[in-house]
């Protein structure tokens, strides 16, 4: 089987007269919308806002660490800055990043539905997100919070007089926004698939979102419980975590990581979905080992729930339970390896082009591989004793979350930008941005592995002078990285008005979303699609294109 | 090109201070580094394989070269290969890491014991001989040293990168770690668990001394009373001996041979009396109720500091050994000025 795919001539493309963007006008039509696409845009704007707040805080952290002394800001201020950086980036950017924006926009279209199962709950989820954002900004504006994003007891309950409750409530509310998103995806994927859209015809993007949704729905309530207990302990001193009252501070660690480890997969799985779509489209080939990739997502979701105590190997858990959790951690690494190899194999005998989304996807593969393998270092019990709580772990999770997830997010935003807006982003400068991001990232975070092995602890405002050279590299890299993130922000905004008109299927991709106009109609499809072909069937697409009569709504 | 000598000097100083690998100063460090290099090796091999696949396919199958994609469904054999090989490598690291972990967290029986109390934001070290240190730890070279650690307030973590050991220091619970220093010198000590405002100032130095220097240091920095002696005075001042008198009809169990013994609890279970058991029994006597005794002991929560508890534990530990002979000092030689409140009683 072979297929020649040629990209359509874009010079004749026109914007459709009617789309979800111009169906209604006015602020009210956006704020009270039930349309999953408009909610996705609302989310996109709000998470971008929080990304740049979190990014500015990261810039402050790197500036402080340029010199060994704590000289740019007081230690207290530094503690508040890294705490807010963590809270904002994790709960207000990474967790909703791909699912609430790209996922929200695409899941209904990919399964052939008019909207998500519960449009109003979807809108409520955005309002909860905004409320969470307001609480977090309030905590910042009122003077900050310095618990670290982990809210570790008894520090957070007895020893700080900052705005722990405000920030905690922010995270608590953000959790519900994520539960609602997950619930909507699960029901939509189960109940609203178009005729003929069987589970194994779903794009892998839907599989990975399904796996992430299960984690959101089952894991997030535990975080909510942990935060409520922290708040109650702070306000009325119920003593669940207080050893003086017979409580156990280790219990908090168990509850917190029972959510926060699966949360890592909540963040990365949707990104993996993006990568599957992008790699397939730009190599014009079905994803190698579709079922293996689909089931590896589910395996990550299942195993992901049973590895939480690997965050606690040095915390006095019994040696034998540490043994079990280390073993399970090794097992959860395997599905990620399977995905990486399948993506690489997808390229084999493809017909590859290197548009911006593909460059970001390559960046993802490289950086996520490093992030994943250094996770094996940390999962190995003895090694973890030396590496945990140092910059090694900081580098590790930034490789996974920023090198992996943020690359995937940018890949997805570029890939579906023509679908969302009807216009192309400028190709030249965006390639430059992708390369800049990659270089800046490696320069920022690779030296941190070395300084971590040297023993530099995380969350330090000052450090011994012999660590300075590596920290200077890191700070230099962070400034390059900052440019890499500002560029897309600027040219994507520019492209809203001046970008070339995209047409329905500029990449000649096979997903249902590419078979409808860009930007889509409010109701997505004029007639319910009937699916009689497999996912990533480029032959079907080639035949379809030959016989297609151009219809524009 | 002309470089200002000031900048030049600064650069030289900066670059000579540049560290890339930590010193190996404990018996475990070479083993840790061996595992580290093995992990780096498999990571590099994995990364190179993925990198080569992506690069080679990108060159061979780029659109100009290969305008037609060939659709391939997948391959069970390949899936099995890249499941089993990584899994096997991960299992090797699992076993290797586990062996190292058990070694670091199971102290040998002949280790000398030093108590560590962490508090915001300092490390206190209590040597059995009565030496107290803040943000420092003096240890002899080539001798196994066990640290029994507890926090007075929040979570801390005791990390000595040059020894490749670290352990969380937790409120309300003893944790232990051990090492055997192999090179005399001064090494970093860090608190690695975020503990509030001055977290990054909760640092210190670990000084490894040759046996002679250590002897000199021990003799020169004693506080006058060993931990056990201080514990004995605390024991008396808290009135412990009114019940734990050792008489057959006493209200409380005899403590003379208690440490290390296996005793029966009222719920029928057995337990070994160790440091944690003694500490719990002082603060929360009903937690482990010993068979044959009425639950009448009051709690001492809030009356004894962590250092005081350590002294009491050390005293009880030493009751069945002849610590008076081992120590160079005995109670009668303690300076009169120290006889007021024994160290460790929380001033009300």
Lowest mean pLDDT among A69-73, A542-546, B114-118, B172-176: A542-546
Task: Verify whether the Cβ–Cβ distance B90 to A333 is below 8 Å.
Answer: yes
Give ∠ CA B1-B6-B12 in degrees, rounded to 5.
85
The answer to whether residues B132 and B259 belong to one domain is no
Per residue in B28-86, pLDDT (tens digit) is 999 999 999 999 999 999 999 999 999 999 999 999 998 888 888 889 999 999 999 99
Q: If you count residue pairs, one on A and one on B, with CB atoms under 8 Å apart, how many are there?
A: 309
- In this complex, is the C-beta atom of B38 within 8 Å of any C-beta atom belonging to chain A? no
The answer to whether residues B217 and B231 belong to one domain is no
Task: Verify whether the Cβ–Cβ distance B63 to A3 is below 8 Å.
Answer: no
In the predicted model, is pLDDT for residue B328 greater than 50?
Answer: no
Which of B19, B47, B172 faces A373 most closely, judged by CB atoms? B47
A102 CA to centre of own chain: 10
Q: How many residues does chain B have?
A: 348
Nearest-angstrom CA–CA distance, A52 and B101: 41
Chain A residues touching residue B167 (CB < 8 angstroms): 314, 316, 385
Q: Are strands B203-209 and B136-140 parallel, antiparallel or unpaired?
A: parallel
The answer to whether residues B233 and B215 belong to one domain is no
Arithmetic mean of pLDDT, B165-172: 93
Q: What percent of chain A has pLDDT over 70?
A: 97
Q: What is the pLDDT of residue A338?
A: 95
Q: What is the pLDDT of residue B95?
A: 96
Per residue in A43-73, pLDDT (tens digit) is 999 999 999 999 999 999 999 999 999 999 9
CATH number for the domain spanning B85: value is 2.60.40.420
Lowest mean pLDDT among A100-104, A105-109, A451-455, B315-319: B315-319
Query: How far away is chain B from the Cα of A66, in angstroms, using its nearest Cα?
Result: 13
The answer to whether residues B208 and B236 belong to one domain is no
Task: Verify whether the Cβ–Cβ distance B32 to A383 is below 8 Å.
Answer: yes
pLDDT category, B341, cuts 50, 70, 90? low
Query: How far away is chain B from the Cα of A413, in angstroms, using its nearest Cα?
Result: 22
Q: Best mutation site among B192, B198, B279, B286 for testing chain A: the one with the most A CBs within 10 Å?
A: B192
Nearest-angstrom CA–CA distance, B32 and B110: 22
DSSP string, A283-307: HTSPPTTHHHHHHHHHHHHHHHTT-
Residue identified by tokens 């330090």 is A460
Task: Verify whether the Cβ–Cβ distance B57 to A160 is below 8 Å.
Answer: no
B193 in any annotated domain: yes
Which of B32, B63, B175 faces A352 most closely, judged by CB atoms? B63
The answer to whether residues B162 and B233 belong to one domain is no
Task: Verify whether the Cβ–Cβ distance B154 to A159 is below 8 Å.
Answer: yes
Per residue in A348-367, pLDDT (tens digit) is 999 999 999 999 999 999 99
Domain boundary among B222, B244, B266: B222
Arithmetic mean of pLDDT, A444-462: 95
| Chain B residues 196-255 with a CB less than 8 Å from chain A | 196-201
For residue B221, which of B335, B146, B317, B126 has the smallest C-alpha distance?
A: B126
Task: Verify whether the Cβ–Cβ distance B57 to A344 is below 8 Å.
Answer: yes
Contact A319, B107 (CB under 8 A): no
Arithmetic mean of pLDDT, B284-303: 85
- Token readout for A23 is 């169906």
Q: What is the pLDDT of residue B77?
A: 94
B320 in any annotated domain: yes
Domain boundary among B190, B222, B254: B222
Q: Which residue from A minimizes the CA distance to B150?
A: A316
Q: Which residue from B minimizes the CA distance to A316?
A: B175
Per residue in A277-304, pLDDT (tens digit) is 999 999 999 999 999 999 999 999 999 9
B14 in any annotated domain: no
Which of A4, A345, A538 faces B78 most closely, judged by CB atoms? A345
Chain A residues touching residue B67 (CB < 8 angstroms): 4, 351
Query: How far away is chain B from the Cα of A467, in angstroms, using its nearest Cα?
Result: 6
Chain A residues touching residue B69 (CB < 8 angstroms): 2-3, 5, 283-285, 349-351, 538
B297 in any annotated domain: yes
**CA distance readout (Å), A349 to A285, A525, B61, B80:** 8, 34, 6, 21
Residue identified by tokens 């156990």 is A248
Residue identified by tokens 């508040």 is A80
B11 in any annotated domain: no
Cis amide prior to A446 (ω within 30 degrees): no
Q: CB-based contacts of B114: which residues, under 8 Å, 6+ apart?
A: B125, B126, B127, B128, B137, B139, B145, B146, B147, B148
The answer to whether residues B139 and B234 belong to one domain is no
Task: Verify whether the Cβ–Cβ distance A314 to B166 is below 8 Å.
Answer: yes
Query: How far away is chain A from the Cα of B288, in angstroms, using its nearest Cα?
Result: 13
B134 in any annotated domain: yes
pLDDT category, A5, cuts 50, 70, 90? low
In the predicted model, is pLDDT for residue A26 greater than 70?
Answer: yes
Residues A461-494: b if buried by 16+ CB within 10 A, e if exposed: bbbbebbbbbbbbbbbbbebbbebbebbeebbee
The answer to whether residues B235 and B204 belong to one domain is no
pLDDT category, B326, cuts 50, 70, 90? very low
In the predicted model, is pLDDT for residue A263 greater than 70?
Answer: yes
**CA distance readout (Å), A464 to A454, B191, B201:** 11, 13, 11
B6 in any annotated domain: no
Per residue in A114-127, pLDDT (tens digit) is 999 999 999 999 99
The full set of domain ranges for chain A reads 19-547
For residue A502, which of A38, A15, A18, A40 has the smallest C-alpha distance?
A: A15
Range of the domain at B324: 227-339
What total number of domains does chain B contain?
A: 2
Nearest-angstrom CA–CA distance, B318 and B128: 10
- In this complex, is the C-beta atom of B62 within 8 Å of any C-beta atom belonging to chain A? yes
The answer to whether residues B37 and B85 belong to one domain is yes
Task: Verify whether the Cβ–Cβ distance B51 to A366 is below 8 Å.
Answer: yes
| Chain B residues 127-186 with a CB less than 8 Å from chain A | 153-155, 157, 159, 161-162, 164-168, 170-173, 175
Nearest-angstrom CA–CA distance, A136 and A168: 8
For residue A262, which of A353, A328, A317 has the smallest C-alpha distance?
A: A328
B268 Rama sector, left if φ>0, alpha if ψ -120 to 50, beta otherwise: left
Chain B residues touching residue A354 (CB < 8 angstroms): 58, 62
The answer to whether residues B318 and B295 belong to one domain is yes
Q: Which residue from A minimizes the CA distance to B86?
A: A334
Task: Verify whether the Cβ–Cβ distance B69 to A457 is below 8 Å.
Answer: no
Question: Any idea which fold A19-547 has?
Answer: Cytochrome C Oxidase; Chain A (1.20.210)
Nearest-angstrom CA–CA distance, A273 and B270: 54
E strand or H helix that includes residue B160 = strand B156-160
The answer to whether residues B131 and B258 belong to one domain is no
Task: Verify whether the Cβ–Cβ distance B98 to A370 is below 8 Å.
Answer: no
What value does the mean pLDDT of chain A take? 93
Give ∠ CA A468-A473-A479 in degrees, rounded to 5.
125
Q: What percent of chain B has pLDDT over 70?
A: 90
Cis amide prior to B121 (ω within 30 degrees): yes
Measured over the CA atoms of residue B68, residue B72, residue B77 and residue B83, the dihedral's sign is positive
The answer to whether residues B233 and B217 belong to one domain is no
Task: Verify whether the Cβ–Cβ distance A289 to B75 is below 8 Å.
Answer: yes
Q: What is the pLDDT of residue B321?
A: 64
The answer to whether residues B47 and B81 belong to one domain is yes
For residue A522, which of A26, A13, A30 has the smallest C-alpha distance?
A: A30
In the predicted model, is pLDDT for residue B173 greater than 60?
Answer: yes
- In this complex, is the C-beta atom of B194 within 8 Å of any C-beta atom belonging to chain A? yes
């Amino acid at each position: 089987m072979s297929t020649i795919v040629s990209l359509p001539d874009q010079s004749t493309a026109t914007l459709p007269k009617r789309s979800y963007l111009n169906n209604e006008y006015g602020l009210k039509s956006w704020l009270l919308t039930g349309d999953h696409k408009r909610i996705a845009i609302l989310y996109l704007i709000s998470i971008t806002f929080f990304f740049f707040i979190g990014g500015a805080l990261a810039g402050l952290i790197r500036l402080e660490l340029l010199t060994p002394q704590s000289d740019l800001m007081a230690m207290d201020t530094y503690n508040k800055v890294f705490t807010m950086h963590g809270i904002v980036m994790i709960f207000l950017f990474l967790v909703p990043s791909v699912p609430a924006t790209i996922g929200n926009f695409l899941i209904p279209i990919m399964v052939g539905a008019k909207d998500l199962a519960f449009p109003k709950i979807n809108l409520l989820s955005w309002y909860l997100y905004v409320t969470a954002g307001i609480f977090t900004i309030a905590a910042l504006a009122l003077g900050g919070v310095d618990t670290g994003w982990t809210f570790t007891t008894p520090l957070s309950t007895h020893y700080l007089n900052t705005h722990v409750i405000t920030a905690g409530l922010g995270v608590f509310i953000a959790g519900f926004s994520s539960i609602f998103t997950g619930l909507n995806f699960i029901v939509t994927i189960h109940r609203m698939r178009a005729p003929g859209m069987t589970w194994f015809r779903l794009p892998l993007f839907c599989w990975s979102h399904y796996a992430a949704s299960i984690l959101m729905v089952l894991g997030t309530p535990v975080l909510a419980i942990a935060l409520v207990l922290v708040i109650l302990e702070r306000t009325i001193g119920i003593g669940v975590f207080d050893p003086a009252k017979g409580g156990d501070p280790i219990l908090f660690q168990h509850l917190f990581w029972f959510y926060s480890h699966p949360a890592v997969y909540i963040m990365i799985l949707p990104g993996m979905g993006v990568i599957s779509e992008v790699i397939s489209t730009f190599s014009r080939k079905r994803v190698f080992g579709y079922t293996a990739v689909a089931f590896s997502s589910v395996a990550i979701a299942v195993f992901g729930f049973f590895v939480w105590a690997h965050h606690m190997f040095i915390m006095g858990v019994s040696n034998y339970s540490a043994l079990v959790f280390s073993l399970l951690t090794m097992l959860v690494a395997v599905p990620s390896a399977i995905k990486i190899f399948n993506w690489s194999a997808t390229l084999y005998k493809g017909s590859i082009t290197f548009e911006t989304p593909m460059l970001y996807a390559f960046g993802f593969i490289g950086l996520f591989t490093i992030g994943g393998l250094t996770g094996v270092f940390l999962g190995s019990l003895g090694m973890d004793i030396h590496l945990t709580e140092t910059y090694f772990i900081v580098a590790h999770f930034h490789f996974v979350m920023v090198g992996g997830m943020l690359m995937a997010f940018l890949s997805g935003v570029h890939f579906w930008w023509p679908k969302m807006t009807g216009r192309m982003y400028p190709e030249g400068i965006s390639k430059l941005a992708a390369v800049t991001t990659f270089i800046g990232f490696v320069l920022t975070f690779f030296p941190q592995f070395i300084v971590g092995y040297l023993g530099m602890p995380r969350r330090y405002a000052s450090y011994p002078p012999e660590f300075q050279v590596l920290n200077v590299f890191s700070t230099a890299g962070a400034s390059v990285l900052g440019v890499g993130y500002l560029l897309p922000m600027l040219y994507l905004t520019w492209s809203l008005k001046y970008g070339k008109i995209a047409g329905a299927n500029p990449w000649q991709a096979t997903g249902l979303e590419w078979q409808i106009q860009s930007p889509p109609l409010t109701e997505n499809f004029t007639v319910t699609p009937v699916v009689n072909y497999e996912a990533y069937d480029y032959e079907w697409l080639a035949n379809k294109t030959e016989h297609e009569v151009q219809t524009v709504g | 090109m002309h470089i200002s000598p000031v900048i030049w000097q600064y650069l030289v100083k900066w670059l000579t201070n540049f560290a890339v690998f930590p010193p190996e100063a404990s018996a475990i460090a070479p083993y840790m580094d061996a595992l580290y290099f093995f992990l780096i090796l498999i990571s590099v091999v994995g990364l190179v394989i993925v990198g080569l696949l992506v690069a080679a396919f990108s060159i061979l199958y780029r659109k100009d070269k290969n305008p037609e994609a060939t659709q391939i469904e997948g391959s069970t054999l390949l899936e099995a290969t890249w499941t089993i090989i990584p899994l096997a490598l991960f299992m090797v690291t699992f076993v290797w890491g586990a062996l190292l972990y058990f070694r670091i967290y199971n102290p040998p029986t002949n280790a000398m014991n030093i108590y560590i109390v962490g508090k915001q934001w300092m490390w206190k070290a209590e040597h059995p001989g009565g030496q107290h240190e803040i943000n420092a730890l003096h240890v002899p070279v080539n001798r196994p040293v066990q640290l029994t650690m507890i926090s007075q307030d929040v979570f801390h973590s005791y990390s000595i990168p040059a020894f490749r050991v670290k352990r969380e220091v937790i409120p309300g619970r003893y944790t232990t770690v051990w090492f055997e220093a192999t090179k005399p010198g001064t090494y970093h000590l860090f608190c690695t668990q975020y503990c509030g405002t001055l977290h990054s100032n909760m640092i210190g130095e670990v000084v490894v001394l040759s046996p002679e220097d250590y002897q000199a240091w021990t003799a020169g920095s004693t506080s006058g009373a060993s931990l056990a002696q201080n514990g004995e005075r605390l024991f008396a001042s808290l009135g412990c001996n009114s019940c734990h008198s050792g008489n057959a009809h006493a209200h409380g169990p005899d403590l003379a041979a208690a440490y290390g013994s296996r005793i029966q609890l009222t719920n029928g279970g057995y337990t070994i009396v160790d440091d944690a058991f003694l500490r719990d029994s002082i603060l929360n006597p009903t937690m482990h109720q010993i068979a044959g005794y009425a639950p009448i002991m009051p709690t001492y929560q809030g009356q004894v500091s962590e250092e005081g508890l350590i002294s009491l534990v050390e005293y009880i530990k030493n009751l069945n050994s002849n610590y008076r002979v081992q120590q160079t000092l005995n109670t009668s030689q303690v300076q009169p000025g120290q006889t007021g409140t024994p160290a460790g009683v929380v001033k009300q």
